[in-house]
Amino acid sequence: MAVPKIWRKIPEYYNLIGKLCPECNAKFFPKRTVCKNCGCTRMQDYKFEGKGKIVTYTIIRTSMSDPEQEINEQAARNIPYALAIIKLKEGPMLTAQIIDCGDSELNIGKKVKKVFRKILENGPSGVIQYGYKFKIDK
Amino acid sequence: MRKVAVIGIGMTKFGQLWKRDLTSLSVEAGVNAVRDAGIHQKDVEVLYGGTMSGGLFINQEHLGSMLPDYMGFKNIPSVRVEAACASGGLALRQAYIDIASGMHDIAVVGGVEKMTDIGTYSITKALATAADTVNESNFGATFPGLYALMAKLHMHKYKTTEEQLASVAVKNHLNALDNPNAQFHKKISIQDVMDSAKIADPLKLLDASPITDGAAAIVLASEKKAKKLSDTPVWIKGSGHATDTISLHDRDDLLTLSATVSAAKQAYLQARLQPKNIDMAEVHDCFTIAELLAIEDLGFVKKGKSGKFTEEGYTKIGGKIPINPSGGLKAKGHPIGASGVAQAIEAVLQLRGDAGKRSTNSENALTHNVGGSGGTSVVHIFER
Amino acid sequence: MQVGIISWGSYIPRFRIKVEDIAKANGSNPEQIKNALMISEKSLPGIDEDTITISVEAARQAIKNIDSKKIGAIYIGSESHPYAVKPTSTVVGEAIELGNNYTAADLEFACKAGTAGIQICLGLVKSGMMDMALTGGADTAQSKPGDPLEYTAAAGGAVFVIGKEDVVAVINETVSFTSDTPDFWRREKEEYPSHGGAFTGQPAYYRHVINATKNLMEKAKTRPENYDYAIFHQPNGKFPRRVAKILGFNEQQISPGLLVGYIGNTYSGASMLGLAAVLDIAKPGQRILVTSYGSGAGSDSFDITVTDKILFNQKRTKKVLDLIKDKIYVDYSKYLRNTQ
């Protein structure tokens, strides 16, 4: 991602700061400027705790390596890695990796909590993007 | 709204076509369609071209100008349409609206994609732009990954099996054997699919449509012109288009593409038909799970029952509702922008009685084209 | 005014590799290595972990139940900051939502960068410039395959918040012993460090640790038997045990803070994690001595007394011992993948 883009996403990526609609109380992550529910445009910042459940998951096994240096980007992830849609405690769902677990530990419905990890490195000389991933909450 | 018909069709072979560039593919399809319609280049009044990304695949934008130029259509209005993998289907709809509204009488609709000039990593990255790059792709969601998330949940909720997913690929490969333009002419078995390399659990290599180059084009005409120019016009009876959240995680129900449900509803309403009246359909099987979800969302089978329905043969040629007699995206190939138009061509061939050994003896045909993981859906119904 | 530690947080990555698996890859005798270094396994980072992510996780633990908005400074010390230019400290500041009203800088002094940070924070709080200051030591240490450092270079870190209210561990005194000693170094553009072999012993580690500790006890007017715990920098299992013996401390005093056998040498995190492990279990009134060591070279020594406020803190933070126990073993090939 471009540098300004990375910087704009920091509150969402580091601290799960989404939005809350003051009219209908709907919560959104990532943030939205317009409430999907009622159309209100006076959205307020809302910090999600980072706890949730696995709604569905998969294990990505195809290589995301860039051997010909086509784009010079290193995904801070080694295949195989687990990807899941997680439903946060407060309601919204998001897509994220689940780390530090074996295949057998993954199950639909399992509780997870957020961790702070590298998401992407824009090559050896580029900026490092940090953000949210999740681990099984024992 | 005036009636609109397809009066000409043309497509290239689909495959990894190293010697061909984007313009030569488009020109072959476009010129063949114009010839098939029995008209001359100068009769074409407007061009609608669907392609997912000239920029990312061949570093070329402004295809709206480039394509008619190379096809020999001088000075006509020309629109490049983009809706990820539904670019072709959406181009078709925009052209249909153009003629139905009375703006023009004869349009060419083309769909094209030249995918293989760049490396695999770059292709994967380009395809990932059909998803939410900032909130999905950035976190490791590849295209197969997103469909795998749907497949995993479908298996969990409805007890769909990996073998049932595989049966979609087996059927489509069988159908493609009789399609000369298809990328693959190879019969495969359930075991072949099960043994193929895992991409994103539960999806394997043979659950996925390939990377393909290709172009497809059709000529649309108003009722008056169609009746004058063609003995075998194929009418567009219904057209529907809808969108849904771009991210899979923002959907109301992860296992229903509500864009498809909505687009289909519009098309059925306009055509005054119900799902049970449809004789055959070309649906968007970018992955085997996508075909299962499609036949549910289009109303051919109850939610959750698509696995069994397919396994038991109801969707094969000669079955209750043949799905993807052309071989589908899986076996025919999936040059992204071309697929939506190629589906329409299959519908036309079938309804003209020109589908040879893969004929389904249909009197109507439905086409279904999806963008991304369901962010866009376009449905058309054709009739003789 | 009593100034000291008001909270702390630790983080150790889950992955471990056994010394014998590294020895096998090098064709060496595992038992010989284990006995020489007195370590059985070490921690390594996930491929998506680095000094910044470790510092953030430790800092997030450290700010639980304190009014973190009062933090006026952040100093993170490491030998493996992900950037040569662009500080780890500001990412930590952002990740704990500190806003913009604080100062920050990254520190480097081999393995003692973190304890130098404690001294800086002490100064800032004692002088009245601010109410709280945060410091940490973390590393994802690199070692060349085949080099003896491969057995010990590990990953982990700890963060301390220094303040003057609700102090859980008062820092009574701190004394340092510093010199220009080239025992272990890494040039700017080099990937792996170099070292002077046996030179890293007496003229380096022992000279500085012993002098700093002796000078501290002189200033604090204490003797080894006054302390319930003694934590020494731990590049391997042998050095801290030997220096403890020389200085007059026994196995009981050093054991709770001696983690190297289970997680290896976490470099800037080493003394810090040792101290954190002791704070996890120390009882009110107990006295702690910590002496770090950083190559290049220097030692920072501290005399600490635990207050009764520690009990509340012990309940809320992840214990070092639990982090040590929460582990996944990897083989040598996965180890190489993660650390390249």
- Which of the two residues, C95 and A63, has the higher pLDDT score? C95
pLDDT at B354: 96
Residues C22, C64, single domain; the answer is yes
Residues A109, A70, single domain; the answer is yes
The neighbouring-strand residues paired with A113 are A51, A135
Q: Give me the residues of C, 63-122, that contact A with CB < 8 A.
A: 82-83, 91, 94-95, 97
Residues A63, A24, single domain; the answer is no
pLDDT at A63: 61
Q: What are phi and psi of B87, to 5 degrees?
A: -55, -45
How far CA B59 is from CA of B28, B55, B114, C143, in Å, comes to: 21, 4, 11, 43
Q: What are phi and psi of B239, to 5 degrees?
A: -140, 135
Neighbour-count burial of B351, counting CB atoms closer than 10 A to its CB (0-12 exposed, 13-18 middle, 19+ buried): buried
| Residues on chain A touching B203 (C-beta within 8 angstroms) | 58
- Nearest-Cα residue of chain A relative to residue C82: A128
d(CA B286, CA B321): 19
Taking the model in full, what pTM does it have? 0.91
Instruction: Measure the CA angle with vertex A78, ends C90 and B251; round to 5°.
Output: 80
pLDDT at A77: 64
DSSP track, B83-106: BTBTHHHHHHHHHHHHHHTTS-SE
Cα B263–chain centre separation? 14
pLDDT at B112: 96
Which residues constitute the domain of residue A57?
49-138
Q: Are C338 and A77 a contacting pair at CB < 8 A?
A: no
pLDDT at B96: 98
Which listed residue (B241, B284, B334, B368) is catalytic? B334
Kindly report the nearest CA distance between residue B122 and chain A, in angstroms: 7
Residues C207, C109, single domain; the answer is no
Side-chain half-sphere exposure of A78, counting CA atoms within 13 A: 16
- Nearest-Cα residue of chain A relative to residue C59: A116
- Dihedral through CA B337, CA B343, CA B344, CA B350, nearest 10? 160
Residues C77, C43, single domain; the answer is yes
Q: Give me the residues of B, 110-169, that contact A with CB < 8 A.
A: 118-119, 121-122, 124-125, 134-136, 138-142, 144-145, 148-153, 156
The neighbouring-strand residues paired with C31 are none
Nearest to C134 by CA among C144, C154, C120: C120
Neighbour-count burial of C217, counting CB atoms closer than 10 A to its CB (0-12 exposed, 13-18 middle, 19+ buried): buried
For residue A67, pLDDT over 80 is answered with no
Q: Strands A51-60 and C229-232, how do they pair? A: unpaired
Sign of CA dihedral C217, C218, C220, C223: positive
Q: Return the residue in C11, C48, C86 with the most chain A beta carbons within 10 A, the one to mutate for interface testing.
A: C48
Q: Using an 8 Å Cβ cutoff, are A95 and B139 in contact? A: yes
For residue A73, pLDDT over 60 is answered with no
Cα C23–chain centre separation? 26
d(CA C68, CA C54): 18
d(CA B268, CA B278): 10
Of A59, A97, A129, the CB nearest to B200: A59
pLDDT at C313: 83
Place of tokens 């013996």: C245
- Which of the two residues, A101 and C207, has the higher pLDDT score? C207
User: Greatest CA separation found in chain C?
Assistant: 57
Q: Are A128 and C82 a contacting pair at CB < 8 A?
A: yes
d(CA B63, CA B81): 10
Residues C97, C230, single domain; the answer is no
User: Tokens for B148?
Assistant: 């795998």
pLDDT at A68: 55
d(CA B195, CA B187): 15
In the DSSP assignment, the letter for residue C202 is I
The neighbouring-strand residues paired with B222 are B4
Kindly report the nearest CA distance between residue B148 and chain A, in angstroms: 6
pLDDT at A125: 86
Residues C187, C96, single domain; the answer is no
- The answer to whether C48 contacts chain A (CB < 8 Å) is yes
Q: Exposure pattern of C265-302 as b/e (b: 16+ CB <10 Å)?
A: bbbbbbbbbbbbbbbbebeeebbbbbbbbbbbbbbbbb
Residues A25, A71, single domain; the answer is no
Q: Are A1 and B250 a contacting pair at CB < 8 A?
A: no
User: Tokens for A87?
Assistant: 């439903």
Low-confidence ranges of chain C (pLDDT < 70): none
Q: Are C50 and A116 a contacting pair at CB < 8 A?
A: no
pLDDT at A75: 62
Residues C241, C108, single domain; the answer is no
Kindly report the nearest CA distance between residue A124 and chain C, in angstroms: 10
Side-chain half-sphere exposure of B91, counting CA atoms within 13 A: 38
- Nearest-Cα residue of chain A relative to residue B154: A56
- What is the side-by-side order of every strand in the sheet holding C4-11? C103-107, C71-77, C132-140, C155-163, C4-11, C169-178, C298-306, C287-291, C229-232
Kindly report the nearest CA distance between residue B201 and chain A, in angstroms: 5
User: Tokens for B323?
Assistant: 């799905």
pLDDT at B295: 98
d(CA B107, CA C127): 81
Low-confidence ranges of chain B (pLDDT < 50): none
Query: What is the count of residue pairs from A and B with beta carbons less than 8 Å apart?
Result: 99
How far CA B334 is from CA of B13, B26, B287, B366, in Å, comes to: 11, 15, 11, 18
- The answer to whether C325 contacts chain A (CB < 8 Å) is no
Q: Return the residue in B201, B205, B254 with the most chain A beta carbons within 10 A, the one to mutate for interface testing.
A: B201
Q: How confident is the model at residue A71 (pLDDT cuts 50, 70, 90)?
A: low
Place of tokens 């102090």: C167
d(CA B297, CA B300): 8
- The answer to whether A136 contacts chain C (CB < 8 Å) is no
pLDDT digits (tens, 9 = 90+) for C67-90: 999 999 999 999 999 999 999 999
User: Tokens for A77?
Assistant: 């992830």
CATH number for the domain spanning A134: value is 2.40.50.840
Residues C57, C197, single domain; the answer is no
- Non-local (6+) Cβ contacts of B180 within 8 A are B13
pLDDT at A104: 86
Residues C218, C234, single domain; the answer is yes
Q: Exposure pattern of B149-188 as b/e (b: 16+ CB <10 Å)?
A: bbbbbbbbebebebebbbbbbbbbbbbbebbebbbbeeeb
- The answer to whether A107 contacts chain B (CB < 8 Å) is no
In the DSSP assignment, the letter for residue C273 is H
Residues A23, A56, single domain; the answer is no
Q: Are B149 and A83 a contacting pair at CB < 8 A?
A: yes
Cα A89–chain centre separation? 14
Residues C250, C293, single domain; the answer is yes
Side-chain half-sphere exposure of C161, counting CA atoms within 13 A: 31
Residues C58, C202, single domain; the answer is no
Kindly report the nearest CA distance between residue C13 and chain A, in angstroms: 9
Residues C177, C288, single domain; the answer is yes
| Residues on chain C touching A133 (C-beta within 8 angstroms) | 48
| Residues on chain C touching A99 (C-beta within 8 angstroms) | 46, 48
- The answer to whether B75 contacts chain A (CB < 8 Å) is no
Q: Are C14 and A100 a contacting pair at CB < 8 A?
A: yes
User: Tokens for B62?
Assistant: 């402004």
- Nearest-Cα residue of chain A relative to residue B126: A71
| Residues on chain B touching A85 (C-beta within 8 angstroms) | 149, 248-249, 254
Residues C19, C153, single domain; the answer is yes
pLDDT at A76: 57
Query: What is the count of residue pairs from A and C with beta carbons less than 8 Å apart?
Result: 46
Give how many domains chain C has, as a whole number: 2
- Nearest-Cα residue of chain C relative to residue A114: C57
d(CA C185, CA B311): 66
Which residues constitute the domain of residue C27?
4-168+311-339
Neighbour-count burial of C46, counting CB atoms closer than 10 A to its CB (0-12 exposed, 13-18 middle, 19+ buried): buried
pLDDT digits (tens, 9 = 90+) for A6-28: 999 999 999 999 999 999 999 99
Q: Is B374 left (phi over 0), alpha (psi -120 to 50) or beta?
A: left
Question: What whole-number percentage of chain A has pLDDT above 70?
Answer: 89
Nearest to B210 by CA among B72, B333, B45, B379: B333
* B85 noted as active-site residue: yes
Give how many domains chain A has, as a whole number: 2
Active site residues of C: 79, 111, 233
For residue A116, pLDDT over 80 is answered with yes
- Nearest-Cα residue of chain C relative to residue A99: C46
User: Tokens for C73?
Assistant: 């400074």
Domains and CATH numbers, chain B: 4-119+212-234 (3.40.47.10), 130-211+237-383 (3.40.47.10)
In the DSSP assignment, the letter for residue A48 is -
User: Greatest CA separation found in chain B?
Assistant: 56
Q: Give me the residues of B, 173-202, that contact A with CB < 8 A.
A: 197-202
